[in-house]
A and B are shown apart, each in its own frame.
Chain A
Amino acid sequence: MALSAPSKLYSDDVSLVVVLLDANPFFWAGANAATSANQPANALSFSRFLSHVLPFLNSILLVNQLNRVVVIAAGVRSCGYVYDSGGGGDGGRATGLCALLLRRLEEFVERDRKLCKDGERAAENASSLLSGSLSLALCYIQRVFRSGTIHPQPRGSPDGPEQYVAVMNAIFSAQRSMVPLDSCVVGIQHSAFLQQASHITGGVYLKPQQLDGLFQYLSMVFATDLQSRSFLQLPKPAGVDFRASCFCHKKTIDRGYVCSVCLSIFCKPHKKCSTCGSDLKQPSADSNPKADSKRKTPDA
C-alpha cells in the first residue's frame, strides 16, 4: 500500500508549524530512569528534552516574519493548546516564548494529573492521547486555512491500539488537507502509528540515535519549510509497520476478517458488522480460513 501525498509546489517558505508534544509523565519518568542506566548519553529528561525543543521553536519564528508556531500538549487523559505565537499583535516575535510556554505546560500537566482519578495508578505503558491532539491540530489548521503547514510531533510514549480508528481517521484527513505529519520519536520503541502517519502524508519519520544532539536533528530535518523539502535529502524510513488493530478488541493483528462494505477489521468472525450493520458471510466449517481474511504484512 504505497499511498503518498502528491507533491505540491509552494511559492514561498512561510510555515505554520503545529507541534504535538507528548507530556505523558509516566513515559518521561520511565525513560529517564531506564536509559540512563544503560546509555548515559541517551538519557533524556523532560527538561532537557524541552531545552532542545524550545530553540527549535524559536528557530522557526526567526526564519520568517510570517511564520507561526502552535504547541499542543498530549497528556494521558487530556490534550490542549499550550502556546500560539500568532496571538500577539506584533507578528510572532519570540519574546517571552520560553517563559510563557513553560508556565502553560506546567499548568497543563497539573490539570492532566487531576483528571486521572485519585488512587488509580496507571499502567506503565500508558499511552498519551495522540488521536485527540492530532484532531485538535487538524481543526486548528483548517481554521487558519493555510496550505503551507508542517506538523512535527516529538513523541515518546507507546501507541495505544485503542486509538487506532481515531488516529487513522486523523491521518487520512491530514492527507486530504495536504498537511504533512513529521514524527520525531524519543524512547525505546518505534511507533507504528507515526510511521504510517508520516508515510501516508508525505512527512518525515525519525528516531534520533543520539539524543543529546536532538536540536541538530530537529533543525536539520524538521525545520525545513515545505518548499525546500523537494530539494533536500531527508531521512527515509527503512520500513513501515502497517499492522492494524481490530475494531472489536483493539488488539494489534496482522491477519483478520474485513467487512466488504465498510472495510472494518475484526479478529474473529462476526455475524454482523458493528460499524455499518451489514450481515457478514460466515466461514463454513471446512473452508480455508484464508478465504475471508486479508493478510496485512509490513511492506518492504
Chain B
Amino acid sequence: MPQVRIIAKNFMDMVAALPAMKLDKLYDNAFICEAVLRSLPPLAKKYVLQMLFIDLPVSAKSMEEWVLSDGFSKHKMAIDRLLQLRIFLEVVDRKKEPSYRLNQKFQGNLRKYLVSGGSLPREPMPSNVTVRLPTLEDLDAYALEQWESFLLQLINSGQTERLAGFNPSMMKVFQRGLLSARENEAPKLTENGFQFLLMDTNAQLWYIIREYISTSEGQGVDPADLISFLLELSFHAPGEAYNLNTLTDVQKSTINDLAALGLVKLQQGRKENWFIPTKLATNLSMSLSDSSSRKEEQTFSAKVVSTQPPLVST
C-alpha cells in the first residue's frame, strides 16, 4: 500500500503542527519567539506589538475595529495565524464573546527584548584561540561549494561511493519525490524534482531541512529540539567561531550534518573545535516570512507525495 506523506507548506506550518505542550515549551526560548514573530504576516506582527504591554484580554470585536473595511480579510488571516501558532489564546468571557490575549511566555520574552535589546545565543570564542578563521568571502565560497556538491549528489544517486556528508539512507529520504526509480533503470528526475532545482537556494534549503526534521523523529530525536536549534542558529553572527563544547550531543551530530550542507564550517584548533555559521545559516529565519514561502508555492506545490510516483518526467 503506497504511503502518503504530507509535506508542510512552509516551515511555520510544521511549527504550528506541534502539539500544544511542545509549542509552549518552544516559546521558552527567546530566539524562537523572535523568529516566529518575524515570520508572521505584517498585520499579525503589528497586533502582537500592540498587545505586548496589555495584560487583560481584548475582545475580538474591538480588534475588528482596528482595521478598515477593505482590510478585513487580511485581519482574519492574521488572527487565524496567531491562533494557529498559539501566540494569541482565546478567552471566552461571561457574555460568551471571544477575546484574545497574548501567550504569556511569548509576551514575557518579547517584552524583555524591547526593554533591554536583543542578545546573542552564545558568545563567540576569543580571537586569540581561533586562528586561521576564513574571511567572509572565503566562507561564502565554501558554503556555495558545499551546497552545490550536495545538490549534485542528490540528483546523481547512481554513484555508489559515499561522498563526504550524509549516509545513503538519509540521501534516499531527500530523494523521495525528486527522483523516481524503476527497477533496473537509472533514477530520473520527476517533475517535482525539476521544479525543486528551479527554486531559489533558501527554498531548497528549507525543503531539505523539513525532510531532515521529519525523519529525525524516527531516529529518536525530538523535532522540537531540532527546530529550536535551527532557529537559534540563524541568530548567530556569520563568520564568528563558536565552541563545539557549548552544544548538546544531539546538536553536535546535527552540526555535522549541517556542515555537509554548507550551513556551517567546522574547524579544529589545538585544544578546542569550533563551528562557524555561514550566510546560509543566518539567512534561515529571513526565508521564513510569508512572501518567500509564497514564491515557493508558486514553483513547487507538492503537498502530497507518494513513495511510488507513477510518472517520470520527459
Contacts and interface: CB of A to CB of B under 8 A. Distances in A.
Interface of A: 11-13, 54-55, 58-59, 61-66, 89-91, 93-98, 215-216, 219-220, 223-225, 227-228, 230-233
B235 to A, nearest CB: 8
Contacts of A11: 291
Contact of A12 (B49, B66, B291): B291
Nearest to B292: A12
Contacts of B291: 11-12
Nearest to B110: A62
Interface stretch (B116-124, B207-215, B248-256, B300-308): B116-124
A253 B43 CA distance: 43
A117 B68 CA distance: 52
Contact of B113 (A58, A215, A220, A224): A58
B68 A62 contact: no
Interface in B235-282: 235, 237-238, 282
Contacts, number: 89
B117 A96 contact: yes
Contacts of B110: 62
Contacts of A232: 43, 46, 66-68, 71
A225 B75 CA distance: 15
A62 B114 contact: yes
Given A55-B114, A94-B113, A215 B75 contact: no
Interface stretch (B34-42, B137-145, B183-191, B193-201): B34-42
A98 to B, nearest CB: 6
A98 B117 contact: yes
Contacts of B46: 223-225, 228, 232
B81 interface: no
Task: Please report whether the interface of chain A is mostly helix, strand, loop or mixed according to DSSP.
Answer: loop
Contacts of B66: 232-233
A13 B71 CA distance: 16
B52 A219 contact: yes
A93 to B, nearest CB: 5
A65 B38 contact: yes
Which one of A89, A93, A224, A231 has the highest number of Cβ atoms from chain B below 10 Å of its Cβ?
A231
B285 A65 contact: yes
A59 B49 contact: yes
Contacts of A54: 115
A242 to B, nearest CB: 27
Nearest to A11: B291
A91 B237 CA distance: 9
A54 B74 CA distance: 29
A-B CB proximity, top 5 nearest: A231-B71, A13-B42, A55-B114, A94-B117, A94-B118
Given A62-B118, A65-B285, 8 more contacts: A61-B118, A65-B286, A93-B120, A93-B235, A230-B71, A232-B68, A232-B71, A233-B65
A103 to B, nearest CB: 14
A205 B70 CA distance: 23
B50 interface: yes
A232 B75 CA distance: 9
A54 B114 CA distance: 8
A59 B113 CA distance: 8
Nearest to B236: A90
A94 to B, nearest CB: 4
Contact of B114 (A58, A64, A89, A95): A58
A64 B38 contact: yes
Contacts of B34: 62
Nearest to A93: B118
A219 B49 contact: yes
A165 B193 CA distance: 63
Contact of B45 (A63, A89, A94): A63
